[in-house]
A and B are shown apart, each in its own frame.
Chain A
Amino acid sequence: MKMLLFFLRLFIWFSLRNMRRHMGRAATVLFGIALGAAVFTSVRLSVNASLDSFSKSMDLIAGQADHVLTRPGGYVPENLMATLLNQEIMQSASPVMSTYTRVSQADAEPFLLIGFDPILDRPMRQWRVDDQSGQQGAAWLDLLKEPYTLILGKPLAHQLKLAPGDSLILEHARQKVRFKISGMLEPNGLALAESGRIAITDIATFQEFTGLFGKVDRIDLKLVSSATSKDLAAVEQLLPEGIQLNPPTATRESGQMMIRAYQLNLSILSFASLFVGMFLVYSLVALNAASRRHELAVLRATGASAYHIFFIFLAEGAFLGIVGWLVAIPLGHILIKYLLHGVSQTISTLFVRVQVDALSLSVYEIVFSFFVTVGISVLAAYQPAREAMQVPPKEALEISQLGMQARISPRQLAFGGLGCILLVVPLSKLPAILGMPLPGYLAIFLLFVGFALLAPWALVKISHILSSILLKRFGIPAYLAGRYVRDSGTRTAVSVGALITAVALFTALVIMIFSFRQTVAYWTYETIKGDLFLTSKMGQINRFRYPVPQPVIDHLQNYRSQVDLLPNRQFFLTYDKFPYVFELMDMQGYMQYASFFWLKGDPDKIRPMLKGGEGVVVSEVFSNRTGLSVGDFFEAQIEESYVKLQILGIVRDYRTQGGAVFYSLPHFNKRYHPVYWGGLRFFFKDRSQDLDAAVARLRTDIIDRLGDRVDMYSGKGLRGAVLRIFDETFAVTTVLLLIALLIAGLGIATTLSVLVLQRSRQLNTLFALGASFRQIRSMIFWEAAFLVVIGELAGVICGFILSYLLIYVVNRQSFGWTFIYAVDWDALLLSIPLIIITALAAALPAVKMVFRRPPATLLRER
C-alpha cells in the first residue's frame, strides 16, 4: 500500500504535471484514443443491440419448446397434432404460425402476427393479457370465441394509437380483413419480442386470414424430462416424409452466425481507429521518454530504480488509456445515436429482420472496451518504457542532451518488416477458424506492422537519394529537412506508420467498396433482369411463403401477347445451419433475356443442361460455405420431396441472406412435386418500345383490374434499390474510415509539433547562425512534406495489398464471396492529394510553434 501510494505520488509529480505543462499535446492524444475507443465501443454495442434483439425475439417466440417440427420450405400438416399429443413423452405441443402483416394505410410499418392455440400454447410461451387494458384477463378467451380478434403488444398499440375494443384492417397476400382488438399484452415474455411490435391471434383466424387451412408453420414440442433419444427416434418414425424434428435453436443460430460475421468485420474495422490511436499514445510516451531523458537520468541518480522508470512510463500509457476511455463515453453517446440506427438498418436489410429501440449495456462489453482501450495504450507505452528504463544514471552528469538513440538500426527493422510482409502470403492461404477469417486478420495486422517497420529504412533511403536533388532544386531548408528526417530514427517513423495505416485502410476500402459495387452493379444488371417484378402482397418480407393468388395468375395470362411471364418460387432453407435460398425459375425464358454471372464451369455447356433440368447452379457463397463444387451433388429436403441434383456450375451472387441454388421450375414440377408461384417477372416482347412507359402502363392496368392485391417493382427500380441498399450499408464503413483518417491527421499534427518543441534549441541555434524565420519554417514544412508523402506512398502500396486480402481472403472467409478486382482511380487520384493537403495542413500548428519563445531566451537556457 505504502509502495503504491509512493508510486502514485511519483507518477503525479513526474508524469501528470508534465502532461499538464503540455496540455495541448496530451489533449490531442487523449482525443485521438477517445475517438478510437468511442468508435470501437459504439460499433460493438450497436451490433450487439441488434444481435440481442434478434436472439431475444427468437428465444421469446421459441418459448419453452425443446424441439420443433418443420418441413423445409413448406408447411406442417395440422392433423399431426393428434398423433403427437398421444405420445407418452409429449408434455405439450403447440402449433404456431407467424407472418408479417400491416395495417391497411399508406406508409404503415409491417409487424409480426403470431397465430397459435391460446390453450395449447400456455405451457409453451409466457404471455399475459394486461388487466388494465379493459377486459380483465378474459381477453384471450375472445380469441377463441370471436373470429378475427387479436391482442396487441403495447408498443404496437401505442404506435397505432389503438386501444382494446378498437378495430383495424390488416392486409396480407390473400386479403384485407377487419380485426377487433380484444386486449393488450403485458410487457413481458413473448410481448417483448420484436420490441413489442407483435400481435397474437387464434390459429384458426390466422389460417383463415392467410388461406393456409390445415397447415401450420411449425409445431413446438415440450417433452417430458425422462424422454430419451430412443423415444425421440420413435416419434420421428411417425412423421410423414419431409417433416424434420430439430432443436428450436437452429433458426436462431443461423441468424446469429450471419450477424456475428458482420460484427466481427465491423469490429475489426472500428479497431483500426483504436489501432491508429495506439500510434498516438506511442508517439507521446516515446516523446516524453526521449525529451525527458536527462530528467530520467537525474531520477535514476537520486535513487530511482530502472523499474520505477519503466512503470512510470507504462502508467503514462495506462493513464492515457483510462482517461481516453472515460472521454470516449460522451463521444460514444453521440456516435451511437447514428450507429445504432445505421447498423440495425443494415442488419435488417442484409441478414435478418431486427427491431432495435434501445441499447442494452452489458457489463462484459463495458469491461471489454475498457480493457481493450487501456490494454492497447499500455502496449503502445511498453517499448518507450523499456527504452526509458535503460537510460543510465551517469547521463545526469552530461551537459548535452543526446536524445533517445535508436537501439535497432533501420535496416534491422526493415528485415523484420519484410519478414512480417512475407508471412502475409502463407497466412492468407490458411482456412477460416471457426468460420471466422482469423488468419486473414492476422495477415492484415502483420501487413500493417511490416510496413510500419519498413518506414524508417524507407525514410533513410529516400532522404539519402533526394538530399542532393533537394539542395540543388529547393535550397538549404529542403536539404536540412531531408537530413533531419533521415536521422530522426524511429520517432518520425511512428507517425509515418500511423499515416501508412490510415492511408492503407483508406485505399484498400476505396478499392474494395468500388470492386464490390462494380461487381454488384454488373450482377444486378445481368441477373436481376426483368421489366416488372410481381409478388404476393408483402411477399418479400414474408420470404415468398404465400402464393401469388390464383385469380391474379389467371388475369395475368391476358398479357401473354405482349409480355413473357416468367414464374419463380423461392424456398428459404439451411444446409448445416448455413442459410440459403433454393430458387426455381423458368430457365428457358430466363436465359433468353438474362444470364448468370459465371465463375466456374463452361457456360456454353451448362446452359442447355440447366434448361433441361439436368442439374443446378450454385452461388459462390453456397459453394464456399458448404464445400460443394462443380460435379458434386446438391441434396436437400424441399417440402415433401428429397432433392438430389448435380452441381453444374458456380455463379456469382450477392444476395446477403446466405447462398443460392438455382434450378428449373418446370422440371422440378415434373420430377418432384408441383409448387405454387411465389412471384413472376415480366419481359416485354417488343424491346424497341419505350420500356419505362410500357412498364408504367402495365402496372396501372394491373392495379386498375386487381387493386393492390400484389406488390410490384419495376426492374429499373429494383436494380436501383439494390445499389441504394449497398450504398447505405457502406455508409457506416465510410464514417469509420473518415474517423481513422482524422486520428491519423491528429497523429501527424502531434508528431510534428513535438518534433519542433523538442528541437527548439537546435532551431534557434540555426536562427543564431543566420537562418531566417522563413527558412526555418520552410524547413519544418519540408519535413512534414517528407513524412506525409512517404507515408502516403507506402500507405497506397500497403493499401493495394490490403485490398487484395480483403477481397480474396477476408470477404471470402467472412461472407463466402469475392469480387472482380477494380480500382476506383478517379476517387484515389482525387482523394490522395486531398489527404496530402490535409496532412500538410496538420503541420501548420507545428510551423507556427517554432518561434513562440524568443530565440535569445532559449539559447541562454540550458
Chain B
Amino acid sequence: MTDESSRTVISAKGLTRTYQLGDSEVIGISQIDLDIAAGELVVLKGNSGSGKSTLLSLLAGLDRPTGGELMVARHDLNHASDIQLTQFRRQVVGMVFQSFNLLPTLNALENVCLPALLAGKSLVETRPKAMELLRWLEIEDRLHHLPAQLSGGEMQRTAIARALINDPAIILADEPTGNLDSRNGQIVMDLLAELNRKWNRTVLIATHSTLADQMASVRMGLKDGMITSFA
C-alpha cells in the first residue's frame, strides 16, 4: 500500500447514479472517478442539477450508486447492507444541510446529542461534548431553544455541532450558506475551514457561493453529472 493510497479517504471509480422517472432515465451523476485524500477541504461547484447533491448523498451513505465503485473511509458503499450504511452514517460522516434540518421538536442541545444517542452513547456522556461544541460555536446561551426560536446562523451552527458529535472523519456540507446572510455565511465557512485545519477533518462543501473558494485545497466542478474540473 502506497502512502497516497493509505491517505485516500474517498475513492470512486466510474461512479454513476441514475433515476427512473416514468419511462425515461435521468442521470444524477455519471462515470465519476475521484480520489480524495484525508484532510482535504474540497469545494464542489456546479449549477442546479449538476449532480452536487447526488454525489454528496452517495458519499454520505444516504443513497446507493447504480454503477461504479465507491469506497469511503475504507467502507465499500456499493455492497453495504442497510444496517452497515446506518452504522456508516453514525460513525464516519457528519452532514450539514442547506435547510439545517434540525428536528423541530428537539431543542438545540438535544438536536446535537441525537446522533450520539442513536449510536448507543448515553446522554450523560454525550451532553458535555455537545455543550463543548456549542460553546465553541458560541451558541451556549441557546441550548434549550427550539429551532424555531433560533436565527438562521444559530440553526446552522447547531447543525454543525450535530455533525461533529460522533467525531466523524468526513464532514459533508450541502449548500451550508444557502439560507444564510453573507455575515452568517462567512462565519459558517470559517468554521468549516477551522474544522479542516485545526481538527484535521476531511470536508466536502457543495456550494454556489464564492466564500469557500479561497479556503479550498481542492476545487471540483460538476456539470450534467460529470466532473468538468478538478484542481
Task: Please report A residues at the B interface, Cβ cutoff 8 Å.
Answer: 2-3, 6, 9-10, 13-14, 17-18, 21, 294-295, 298-306, 308, 392-394, 396-397, 399, 862
- Pair A13/B105 contact, Cβ less than 8 Å: yes
For A294, the chain B residues whose CB sits under 8 A away are 101
A416→B115 CA distance, assembly (Å): 41
Q: Interface centre among B56, B89, B179, by most A CB within 10 Å?
A: B89
- Pair A394/B118 contact, Cβ less than 8 Å: no
For B104, the chain A residues whose CB sits under 8 A away are 21, 295
Q: Which of B60, B83, B97, B117 contacts A305 (CB 8 A)?
A: B83
- Pair B117/A10 contact, Cβ less than 8 Å: yes
For A17, the chain B residues whose CB sits under 8 A away are 105-106
Known: A304-B118, A305-B83. 17 other contacts (CB 8 A): A2-B122, A6-B117, A6-B120, A9-B117, A13-B106, A13-B110, A14-B106, A298-B101, A301-B95, A302-B115, A302-B118, A303-B119, A304-B86, A392-B62, A392-B63, A397-B56, A397-B97
- Pair A301/B62 contact, Cβ less than 8 Å: yes
A9→B121 CA distance, assembly (Å): 13
For A305, the chain B residues whose CB sits under 8 A away are 82-83, 86
B31 at the interface (CB under 8 A from A): no
Shortest CB-to-CB span from A296 to chain B, Å, is: 10
Q: Which of B63, B98, B103, B110 contacts A298 (CB 8 A)?
A: B103
Shortest CB-to-CB span from A679 to chain B, Å, is: 73
- Pair A396/B118 contact, Cβ less than 8 Å: no
Assuming A18-B105, A392-B63, is B118 touching A308 (CB within 8 A)? yes
B162 at the interface (CB under 8 A from A): yes
- Pair A303/B118 contact, Cβ less than 8 Å: yes
For B86, the chain A residues whose CB sits under 8 A away are 300, 303-306
- Pair B105/A303 contact, Cβ less than 8 Å: no
A300→B118 CA distance, assembly (Å): 10
Shortest CB-to-CB span from A293 to chain B, Å, is: 12
For B209, the chain A residues whose CB sits under 8 A away are none
> Interface readout for B153-184 with A: 1 if CB under 8 Å, 0 if not?
00000000010001000000010000100000
Shortest CB-to-CB span from A16 to chain B, Å, is: 8
Considering only CB atoms, which chain A residue lies closest to B86 in the complex?
A: A305
- Pair B105/A396 contact, Cβ less than 8 Å: no
A167→B82 CA distance, assembly (Å): 86
- Pair A301/B89 contact, Cβ less than 8 Å: yes
- Pair A9/B123 contact, Cβ less than 8 Å: yes
Considering only CB atoms, which chain B residue lies closest to A306 in the complex?
A: B82
For A302, the chain B residues whose CB sits under 8 A away are 89, 95, 114-115, 118, 162
Considering only CB atoms, which chain A residue lies closest to B98 in the complex?
A: A399
For A397, the chain B residues whose CB sits under 8 A away are 53, 56-57, 62, 97, 174
A18→B101 CA distance, assembly (Å): 16
B90 at the interface (CB under 8 A from A): yes
Please, how many residues of chain B have a CB less than 8 angstroms from a CB on the other chain? 35
- Pair A13/B103 contact, Cβ less than 8 Å: yes
A305→B82 CA distance, assembly (Å): 8
> Interface readout for B96-113 with A: 1 if CB under 8 Å, 0 if not?
011101111110001000
Considering only CB atoms, which chain B residue lies closest to A302 in the complex?
A: B115
Complex A-B: 17 CB contacts under 8 Å: A6-B122, A9-B123, A10-B118, A13-B103, A13-B110, A21-B105, A301-B89, A302-B89, A303-B86, A303-B89, A303-B119, A304-B86, A392-B62, A392-B63, A396-B62, A397-B57, A862-B179
Q: Which of A2, A295, A394 contacts B103 (CB 8 A)?
A: A295
A303→B162 CA distance, assembly (Å): 11
For A2, the chain B residues whose CB sits under 8 A away are 120, 122
For A306, the chain B residues whose CB sits under 8 A away are 82, 86
For A14, the chain B residues whose CB sits under 8 A away are 103, 105-106
A826→B221 CA distance, assembly (Å): 76
A13→B108 CA distance, assembly (Å): 12
Q: Interface centre among A2, A298, A302, by most B CB within 10 Å?
A: A302
A392→B60 CA distance, assembly (Å): 13
Considering only CB atoms, which chain B residue lies closest to A305 in the complex?
A: B86
Considering only CB atoms, which chain B residue lies closest to A6 in the complex?
A: B117
Q: Which of A13, A21, A308, A396 contacts B101 (CB 8 A)?
A: A396
Considering only CB atoms, which chain A residue lies closest to B60 in the complex?
A: A301
Q: Which of A10, A18, A393 contacts B62 (CB 8 A)?
A: A393
User: Which positions 32-65 of chain B face chain A at CB distance < 8 Å?
Assistant: 53, 56-57, 60-63
Shortest CB-to-CB span from B202 to chain A, Å, is: 18
- Pair A396/B117 contact, Cβ less than 8 Å: no
User: Which positions 122-152 of chain B face chain A at CB distance < 8 Å?
Assistant: 122-123
Shortest CB-to-CB span from A540 to chain B, Å, is: 66
A295→B56 CA distance, assembly (Å): 19
Considering only CB atoms, which chain B residue lies closest to A14 in the complex?
A: B105
For A399, the chain B residues whose CB sits under 8 A away are 98-99
A278→B162 CA distance, assembly (Å): 38
Shortest CB-to-CB span from B181 to chain A, Å, is: 14
Q: Interface centre among A295, A301, A399, by most B CB within 10 Å?
A: A301
Considering only CB atoms, which chain B residue lies closest to A18 in the complex?
A: B105
Shortest CB-to-CB span from B175 to chain A, Å, is: 9
- Pair A394/B114 contact, Cβ less than 8 Å: no
A303→B90 CA distance, assembly (Å): 5
Considering only CB atoms, which chain A residue lies closest to B87 in the complex?
A: A303
Shortest CB-to-CB span from A682 to chain B, Å, is: 79
Shortest CB-to-CB span from B50 to chain A, Å, is: 14
Task: Please name the 5 residue pairs, one residue from A and one from B, whose CB atoms are nearest each other, closest first.
Answer: A17-B105, A303-B90, A303-B118, A394-B62, A394-B63
Q: Which of A18, A21, A303, A308 contacts B115 (CB 8 A)?
A: A303
A3→B120 CA distance, assembly (Å): 7
Considering only CB atoms, which chain B residue lies closest to A15 in the complex?
A: B105
Shortest CB-to-CB span from B29 to chain A, Å, is: 13
Shortest CB-to-CB span from A333 to chain B, Å, is: 34
Shortest CB-to-CB span from A12 to chain B, Å, is: 9
Considering only CB atoms, which chain A residue lies closest to B148 in the complex?
A: A861
For A18, the chain B residues whose CB sits under 8 A away are 105
Shortest CB-to-CB span from B103 to chain A, Å, is: 6
For B63, the chain A residues whose CB sits under 8 A away are 392-394
Considering only CB atoms, which chain B residue lies closest to A17 in the complex?
A: B105
For A308, the chain B residues whose CB sits under 8 A away are 118
For B57, the chain A residues whose CB sits under 8 A away are 394, 397
For B114, the chain A residues whose CB sits under 8 A away are 13, 299, 302-303
For A298, the chain B residues whose CB sits under 8 A away are 97, 101-103
Considering only CB atoms, which chain B residue lies closest to A19 in the complex?
A: B105
For B103, the chain A residues whose CB sits under 8 A away are 13-14, 295, 298-299
Assuming A9-B123, A393-B89, A396-B62, is B101 touching A301 (CB within 8 A)? yes
Q: Interface centre among A2, A3, A304, A308, by most B CB within 10 Å?
A: A304
A686→B102 CA distance, assembly (Å): 92
For A299, the chain B residues whose CB sits under 8 A away are 103, 114
Considering only CB atoms, which chain B residue lies closest to A10 in the complex?
A: B117
Shortest CB-to-CB span from A597 to chain B, Å, is: 65
> Interface readout for B5-36 with A: 1 if CB under 8 Å, 0 if not?
00000000000000000000000000000000
For A6, the chain B residues whose CB sits under 8 A away are 117, 120, 122
A304→B114 CA distance, assembly (Å): 9
Shortest CB-to-CB span from A392 to chain B, Å, is: 7
Q: Interface centre among B60, B89, B103, B123, by most A CB within 10 Å?
A: B103
